[in-house]
Amino acid sequence: MPPRPAEMTPSERRRGMRRRTSPAARVAARVAALLAAGALAGASLPAQARKGPPIIRDAEIEQLLKEYAQPILRVAGLTRQNIQVVIVNDSSFNAFVADGRRIFINAGALLDADTPNQVIGVLAHEAGHIAGGHLARLHERLASASTQSAVAMVIGLGALVAASRSGGGNYSALGQGGMAALAGPNAAVQNSVFAYMRAQEEQADRAGVRFLTASGQSAKGMYVTFKRMANQGLYQARNINPYLQTHPMPGERVAALEGMAKASPYWNAKDPPELQARHDLMGAKLFGFLASPAAVARRFPPSNNSLQAQYARAISVVRFGQPQAAQARVEALIHAQPQNPYFHELKGQMLLESGHPAEAIAPLREAVALAPNPALIQIMLGQALVASHDHAHLDEAVKVLQSALTRDPESADAFTQLAMAYGQKNDLAHADLASAEAAWARDDLKTASEIAARAKTRFPIGSPGWVRADDLSNYKPPPRQPSAKW
């Protein structure tokens, strides 16, 4: 599925609704929100216009990042945690972990990376934070910290250094709240936080290089990326780089990383050409979806006949051009790579979004059959089947949506389509239950509870549907954990 902003997972959203435990946690949450706002303010690619947290869900990119992360997570001993790589719709460079379950990486970081190895290096560093238990320890510190030192810790060394370098004056992108917070912590607290964060960054670098070496990969991409960051930090002290806020890059850290990376026997190892080709397609796709047609035409002029250039141009025409022109370009992609699931998916999406759901069904079925993890494509297929308003399609719609939910159990979109499919089948009990699940997945707990109470009256008492409706109608949110980016 082409990138589109989707909601955060329900657990992510639910955390925001829980009662908060301490002033430090409250401040930490506020500062995390400020940091997020600062990162968004720096975005220059046109964000796709829809409300909600700026997460990109896309079957092709998620699959690729999963394959990038797998060897690292395996040697890091993290396979059992089922860690997801989540793509943030933001054109600045950033990557961070906010809990032990997810590594967040900005679209900007993916677009900046020339090779898979550069992305894998960033993932290896972030995996180093998770494997080192850095977040758990940060949370312990936050729980016992005063309000102001909690602010200092969450904002991180980079921002504080920038503020002190510029006389505390003009680190404006953090906004008023950030400015006030920066004026607060005393020097002793700052120094202990500096030392603490610097030590963790160096640990994460060391762990990252170890993971790369143990999985037979070069740390060159990690070194090249962090060196570029360090140079940007030197020349753009007043420019917000969210990665530098949480990842200070003093010269000695980059030098230490260079030493470790060059000591590896895999320093000159290259990414497999097949992986590089998929990486190039990923970059073209993100650019095609996120950039303006003029920017796409500049980066991928008609003289560039590579598959990635064709992909970016096709996506741009699907988004902004005439339907006939779009169709021809998408067909050319399929002709070039008939076994590429995501080209069939693009065709299905184009037909669905231009008001031809019945014609979207065949290409989406093809994409589902070809994709290694088709959950997101199954949801789109379910949508096409429901929107075709053909009763012969409803059983298939229920089946593919339920299949998608086994892999992506918190998808509000899947539950919404499922509710419509059941509604068209006149199965009102399951339609209500699916609507309640959709509201739950959107973190609208009040609506979820109300619809679930109605669903309960439609099921036989004690049946599985009744039990689930009963759970949803009686849910009480648990207390909140503090959260921070790292």
The smaller minimum CB distance to Zn ion, of residues 249 and 346, is found at 249
The smaller minimum CB distance to Zn ion, of residues 112 and 201, is found at 201
Query: What's the Cα-to-Cα distance from 122 to each of 110, 148, 282, 343, rounded to whole Å?
Result: 10, 30, 17, 28
The smaller minimum CB distance to Zn ion, of residues 210 and 247, is found at 247
| Nearest distance, CB of residue 152 and Zn ion, angstroms | 17
Q: What's at 59, amino acid-wise?
A: A
Strand segments, DSSP code E, in 305-455 are: none
Q: Are 337 and 308 in contact (CB under 8 A)?
A: no
Cβ-based neighbours of 385, under 8 Å, separated by 6 or more: 357, 361, 393, 394, 396, 397, 400, 421
Query: What's the Cα-to-Cα distance from 326 to each of 330, 348, 383, 468, rounded to whole Å?
Result: 6, 12, 21, 44
How many degrees, rounded to 5, is the angle at CA 476 between CA 415 and CA 459? 50
| Nearest distance, CB of residue 208 and Zn ion, angstroms | 9
b/e for 94-111, b at 16 or more Cβ within 10 A?
Answer: bbbbbbeebbbbbbbbbb
Query: What's the Cα-to-Cα distance from 240 to each of 28, 288, 309, rounded to whole Å?
Result: 20, 25, 31
| Nearest distance, CB of residue 158 and Zn ion, angstroms | 11
| Nearest distance, CB of residue 218 and Zn ion, angstroms | 19
* 375, containing H or E segment: helix 375-387
| Nearest distance, CB of residue 226 and Zn ion, angstroms | 10
Residues within the interface to Zn ion (CB under 5 A): 201, 204, 247
The smaller minimum CB distance to Zn ion, of residues 55 and 122, is found at 122
Q: Residue 285 and residue 300: Cα distance in Å, rounded?
A: 12
| Nearest distance, CB of residue 104 and Zn ion, angstroms | 12
Size of the chain in residues: 486
Of the candidates 419, 445, 414, 443, the one whose C-alpha atom is nearest the C-alpha of residue 431 is 419
The smaller minimum CB distance to Zn ion, of residues 127 and 318, is found at 127
How many degrees, rounded to 5, is the angle at CA 24 between CA 21 and CA 25? 50
| Nearest distance, CB of residue 469 and Zn ion, angstroms | 44
The smaller minimum CB distance to Zn ion, of residues 123 and 361, is found at 123
| Nearest distance, CB of residue 205 and Zn ion, angstroms | 8
| Nearest distance, CB of residue 97 and Zn ion, angstroms | 8
The smaller minimum CB distance to Zn ion, of residues 54 and 208, is found at 208
The smaller minimum CB distance to Zn ion, of residues 220 and 247, is found at 247
| Other CB atoms within 10 Å distance of the CB of residue 458 | 16
| Nearest distance, CB of residue 87 and Zn ion, angstroms | 18
| Nearest distance, CB of residue 433 and Zn ion, angstroms | 43
| Nearest distance, CB of residue 349 and Zn ion, angstroms | 36
| Nearest distance, CB of residue 422 and Zn ion, angstroms | 46
Q: Residue 318 and residue 323: Cα distance in Å, rounded?
A: 7
Q: How many CA atoms lie within 13 A of 6 on its CB side?
A: 23
The smaller minimum CB distance to Zn ion, of residues 127 and 439, is found at 127
Task: Provide the token pair at 352.
Answer: 């669905």
First vs last C-alpha separation in the chain: 29
Query: What's the Cα-to-Cα distance from 468 to each of 11, 18, 237, 439, 458, rounded to whole Å?
Result: 18, 22, 53, 14, 12
The smaller minimum CB distance to Zn ion, of residues 204 and 387, is found at 204
Q: What's at 224, amino acid-wise?
A: V
Q: What's at 413, amino acid-wise?
A: D
Q: Are 58 and 1 in contact (CB under 8 A)?
A: yes
Residue 51 is classified by DSSP as: -
Task: Provide the token pair at 291.
Answer: 């950039």
The smaller minimum CB distance to Zn ion, of residues 78 and 334, is found at 78
The smaller minimum CB distance to Zn ion, of residues 247 and 319, is found at 247
The smaller minimum CB distance to Zn ion, of residues 134 and 365, is found at 134
Pairing verdict, β 84-88 and 102-106: parallel
